[in-house]
Amino acid sequence: MATTDDQGNYSVIVTLKMPTECNNFIPYARGIHSSMTNSDRFSSLSAKLGTFDSTITKLSDAQTACKSKPPTGTVQTRNTYWSSACKELKTLKGNVQEIADNDPVNAKAIAIDAGMSYKLVKKRGSQKPTAKDGPDEGSVILFAGVPGPSNWRESKDDENWNNLTGSKTSRKNLKNRIPGEVYFYQYSQPLPNGEDSPWSESIRIRLKKY
């Protein structure tokens, strides 16, 4: 679930401001790597940070090679490392969000210590979805806690999740589930910048047999 500020009215969302030019991206990525490796908050991520450091070095070398005269490397190779660095950075952002979620009082400071940014997203009503049996056996009707488009995921144990197709509204209908079985559901909201809000609390339902 999302962390909240002191007033409890806002979710603290960790964000990135990745430059669109490679020459600017490299020092940005190095800055985040340096911030995270120099903070005890992220000691559990040392292996991922080591991999990230290696990827940044390869990207930097590839950028130098394709910009040299004459070029000694290709833009395609540079872009491959750039794409990998972006993916690893987004994964690290997700890890920082998890750490912040587990320490809501210090959530803002955690984002800053990681060299990342944050934004406050105002809550709009309940963050907990609801689920009820549908009209047919094995069907489920889901309702998100707030109006608007929603992402959904499903689990049988509240730990391992499968993403479902998102809905254009706060409601989603599902079929072909097993009557008598327990299911868990969570939703998140797509944000205007293309990112997603954190997943909601889980809702548990045991499907009735008709």
The pLDDT tens digits of the residues spanning 88-120 come to 999 999 999 989 988 888 999 999 999 999 988
Amino acid at residue number 23 = N
Do 116 and 143 sit in the same domain of this protein? no
pLDDT (average), residues 168-179: 93
Question: For 26-53, what is each residue's pLDDT tens digit?
Answer: 999 999 999 999 999 999 999 999 999 9
- Tell me the torsion sign for CA atoms 161, 16, 84, 40: negative
Q: Are both 180 and 152 inside the same structural domain?
A: yes
Q: Which of 99, 121, 143 is a domain's end point?
A: 121
57 shares its domain with 134? no
| Final residue in a domain of this structure, among 97, 121, 145 | 121
Pair (102, 174) in one structural domain: no
Asked if residue 129 and residue 107 are part of one domain, the reply reads no
pLDDT of residue 3: 54
Q: Does residue 163 sit in the same domain as residue 105?
A: no
Are 133 and 89 part of one and the same domain? no
Query: In total, how many domains does the chain have?
Result: 2
Are 131 and 68 in the same domain?
no
| pLDDT band at residue 192 under the 50/70/90 scheme | low
Residues 110 and 136 in one domain: no
Pair (70, 137) in one structural domain: no
CA-CA distance, 156 to 181, in Å (whole number)?
8
pLDDT of residue 89: 97
Residue 52 CB: number of other CB atoms within 10 A?
23
Same domain, 104 and 140: no
Name the phi and psi angles at 120, rounded to 5. -105, 125
Cα gap 12→4, rounded to integer Å: 6
- Cis check for the bond before 19: say yes or no (omega within 30 of 0): no
Alpha helices (runs of H) in 68-106, residue ranges in sequence order: 75-101
Tokens (6 digits) for 168: 């254009």
| 164 contact partners, CB below 8 Å, separation of at least 6 | 152, 153, 154, 172, 174
Length of the chain: 210
Q: In 3D, which of 150, 140, 145, 148 has the Cα closest to residue 178? A: 140
Asked if residue 59 and residue 109 are part of one domain, the reply reads yes
The DSSP string of 104-162 is: GGGHHHHHHHTT-EEEEEE--S-S--EEEE-SSTT-EEEE-SSSS-EEEEEESSSSSEE
Instruction: Report the CATH number at residue 150.
Output: 2.60.40.10
> Domain boundary residue among 60, 90, 121?
121
26 alpha carbon, distance to own chain's centre: 22
Domain that holds residue 59: 3-121
